[in-house]
Amino acid sequence: MLIRPKEGILDPQGQAVERALPALGFEGAANVHVGRLVELDVDSVESVPEMCERLLANPLIEDYEVLAVE
Amino acid sequence: MKFGVVRFPGSCDEVDAVLACEQQGEAEILWHGDRDLKGADVVVVPGGFSYGDYLRVGAIAQFSPVMDAVAEFARAGGPVLGICNGFQVLCEAGLLPGALLPNVELRFVCRQVDVEVANADTPFTRQCAEGDVLSIPVKHTTGRYYAPETTLAEIEERGQVVLRYAEDYNPNGSANGIAGVCNAERNVMGLMPHPEHAVDPLTGSADGACLFASLAAHAAEPAAA
């Protein structure tokens, strides 16, 4: 699961990274956002969205995306 | 009257909370693994780093057995006060509107702030007057209050903003300078500042005591709230 700060919510962590990149000579990086990755093994991905809704993400402030690998 | 103060693994302000409560009545620690609220008239969810703050602050504590009992107590109208991490837990549990995000400066802040009483008609502030300025410390990294625009408008409209940082004191970028909010029924409140660390003039301010005194008065005579 990829969990990201919701669009439009101030993401100071992303901004701090965005400011740090040019300091290292990497120009042109914009819209930097920092989220997190949750990995797990499950028999069926059916229950994963509910896991995200109830625990792994806070839907008020975060969006999530389920990336299933067989 | 009796206060129950929750202790999660990682709580660190529960002892100060008990001391603050004991100025007003009895107080007992409630262990996170128990569902027993031990007959408490008021529940305090204290500050700290419950369950290591893993995943998100307050995210895992909301599912502890004691929080089941606290949610049931709150739904029945029992007064619940969440302080700092306790505020985060109550938001995650859906007992309060909104969420707490990392401070806008991304730094831990630890300082004395002035907060204004925005609503004195709650069980938490009835011993204060609207507009009173309280000097109370904050100490947190994740204290920026956030709620979607529509929710913000609703809570402002309904008088659910109980405490607001005084001008120039907002330490974390909270929306509308919100330091403390309550639910629509006004029996659950959360705040980022630590009133339990401001109950003795020896430590700089005793302004926080009015919240605990308000709760004790409410427990003695709920109808007057």
For residue A15, give how far its alpha carbon lies from the nearest alpha carbon of chain B (Å). 10
At residue B30, does pLDDT exceed 90?
A: yes
* Residue B31 near chain A (CB below 8 Å): no
At residue B206, does pLDDT exceed 90?
A: yes
pLDDT at B42: 98
Number of domains in chain A: 1
At residue B225, does pLDDT exceed 50?
A: no
Average pLDDT of every residue of chain B: 96
pLDDT band at B223 (very low <50, low <70, confident <90, very high): low
pLDDT at B222: 80
* Residue B170 token pair: 């907002």
**Catalytic annotation on B84?**
yes
Q: Do B99 and A56 touch (CB under 8 A)?
A: no
Q: Do A13 and B104 touch (CB under 8 A)?
A: no
Q: Is residue A41 part of a domain?
A: yes
Q: Is residue A70 part of a domain?
A: no
pLDDT at B224: 53
Q: Is residue A47 part of a domain?
A: yes
Q: Which domain holds residue B135?
A: 2-224
* Contact residues, chain B, for A10 at CB < 8 Å: 101, 104, 173
Q: Which domain holds residue A17?
A: 2-65
For residue B92, give how far its alpha carbon lies from the nearest alpha carbon of chain A (Å). 8
| CATH number of the domain that residue B48 is part of | 3.40.50.880
Q: ipTM, 2 decimals?
A: 0.84
pLDDT at B174: 98
CA distance B107 to B141: 6
| CATH number of the domain that residue A14 is part of | 3.30.1280.10
Q: Do A10 and B173 touch (CB under 8 A)?
A: yes
- The stretch B42-61 carries a mean pLDDT of 94
pLDDT one-digit tens code per residue, A9-64: 999 999 999 999 999 999 999 999 999 999 999 998 999 999 999 999 999 999 99
Q: Is residue A12 part of a domain?
A: yes
pLDDT at A69: 87
pLDDT one-digit tens code per residue, B145-197: 999 999 999 999 999 999 999 999 999 999 999 999 999 999 999 999 999 99
Number of domains in chain B: 1
